[in-house]
Amino acid sequence: MDDFDLELDEMELVSAAAGYYYYNCVTKQPCLSISPSGSGFLMEVLNGDDDFCREMLRMDKHVFHKLCDNLRNRGMLRDTAGVMIEEQLAIFLNIVGHNERNRVIQERFQHSGETISRHFNNVLKAIKSLSREFLQPAPTSTPPEILASNRFYPYFKDCIGVIDGMHIPAHVPAKDQSRFRNKRGDLSQNVLAACTFDLQFIFIYPGWEGSAADSRVLRAVLDDPDQNFPEIPEGKYYLVDMGYSNMEGFIAPYQGVRYNLHEYRGANHLPRNAKELFNHRQASLRNVIQRSFDVLKARFPILKLAPQYAFHTQRDIVIAACVLHNLIRREEINDWLFNGIDGVLVEDLSDLDDHPDMQLALPINGQIASSLRDSIAASMWDDFINKWDEW
């Protein structure tokens, strides 16, 4: 073979290589329009099995894409030269959905620690800014979950939601630890939460010290107009547990009477009087907020451990998690975590306050609430005794 043939072969190889490069990098489009830099893992997730996507992103694919479009169209997040919005959101969801450390996410997404941290904080800020849109006051009409049950309707027809405290493990400096240590001896932030009967959060107020009583946190919110607690329509009320005072707008169980659901099991499970019947049904209806808490923590395990972030970031993570919780509830009726808790009564293990601060309820407000509670209890007891056996 002469030199001319060798030169021709080399030219053919160069031409073939150029053609191959053009086909793969110019004419051949990827399945997803995501920057190839560091996005291999995300493309694997979005092009893969639905269950794998749910596991990694904590939501269904169509919900993820809709959220990305929302953030992009509103200008809340922007694509960068190296990281598209889809990958920014995936980084955030991997952190809060698996409580992963920065170095793990660096390896997974092939970005520097600074890039991971920057996009985490940008996404956190963007999702938190959606709180006014997704944390909405409850409808004033009787909830369908109450209308559908003769155990609850018409007795609780004016109930619009449930309120309780949720303790989230907290990472705080040594000088603050005594204030954040709750009654179980753990460091936590006390989060005031209100939810509807379809498991959506209405109001979230994180950041209180773990030592603060639930009733104290509620009173602080009600006394501060800047907290924007939804106005309670006249005649309407929330259900609360033993840690709160029975007062206008907030109906608590009877003190000194069986209340927790586990107390109504076994041989003596039937209620013996109107107060016990009221407490059992109030606890059964109020259980919806414990189910909401369970779904929230199952989806975002970062809420089960104290993350190594500044406290204001820990507080914002709670708000963002609740926003995503509501978004998923609205966009995917068959979400696997919500379906798994549907109709299930869960044990109420969160109560750290057994006795409310009675000074928080004004005498007149307390009398109005007591009269309403007595009226409800008498009505349901009369029906229970004279009309039907279900309780």
Mean pLDDT over each residue of the chain, to the nearest integer:
87
Looking at residue 16, its pLDDT comes to: 44
> Got the DSSP string for 74-95?
TTSS---SS--HHHHHHHHHHH
- For residues 140, 277, 354, 225, the Cα torsion angle rounded to the nearest 10 degrees is 10
pLDDT digits (tens, 9 = 90+) for 93-142: 999 999 999 999 999 999 999 999 999 999 999 999 999 999 999 999 99
Q: How far apart are CA 290 and CA 288, in angstroms?
A: 5
C-beta neighbour count of 90 within 10 angstroms: 29
List Cα–Cα distances, 150 to 64, 269, 379, in angstroms.
38, 20, 12
Which pLDDT score is estimated for 11?
Answer: 44
- 299 with 149: CB under 8 angstroms? no
Amino acid residing at 135: L
DSSP per position, 284-311: HHHTHHHHHHHHHHHH-GGGGS--SS-H
Alpha helices in the chain (DSSP H): 3-22, 40-46, 50-57, 61-73, 85-98, 102-109, 113-128, 131-134, 144-147, 177-180, 214-223, 274-286, 288-299, 311-331, 336-341, 363-386
What pTM value is reported for the model? 0.86
Residue 112: helix, strand or coil by DSSP?
coil
Q: How many CB atoms within 10 Å of residue 57?
A: 22
pLDDT at 266: 64
Q: What is the pLDDT of residues 210-268, one digit of tens each?
A: 999 999 999 999 999 999 999 999 999 999 999 999 999 999 999 999 887 777 776 56
Rounded-to-integer distance, Cα 46 and Cα 30, Å: 12
Residue 190 β-bridge partners: 167, 208
- Which of 108, 227, 131, 48 minimizes the C-alpha distance to 64? 48
CA distance 138 to 381: 28
C-beta of residue 228 within 8 angstroms of C-beta of residue 250:
no
Angle between the N-to-C axes of helices 311-331 and 113-128, in degrees from 0 to 180, rounded to the nearest 10: 60
Taking residues 308-312, report their average pLDDT: 95
Q: Is the pLDDT of residue 364 over 70?
A: no
Residue 368, burial from CB neighbour count under 10 angstroms (0-12, 13-18, 19+):
middle
Pairing of strands 201-209, 237-239: unpaired
Tell me the C-alpha distance between 247 and 240, whole Å: 10
| CA–CA gap between residue 287 and residue 152 (Å, rounded) | 13
256 Cβ contact list (under 8 Å, min separation 6)? none
Residue 361 φ/ψ, nearest 5 degrees:
-100, 120
Interval 14-58: pLDDT, tens: 444 444 443 344 333 334 444 444 578 999 999 999 999 999 999
287: its two tokens: 């259980």
Which pLDDT score is estimated for 84?
A: 96
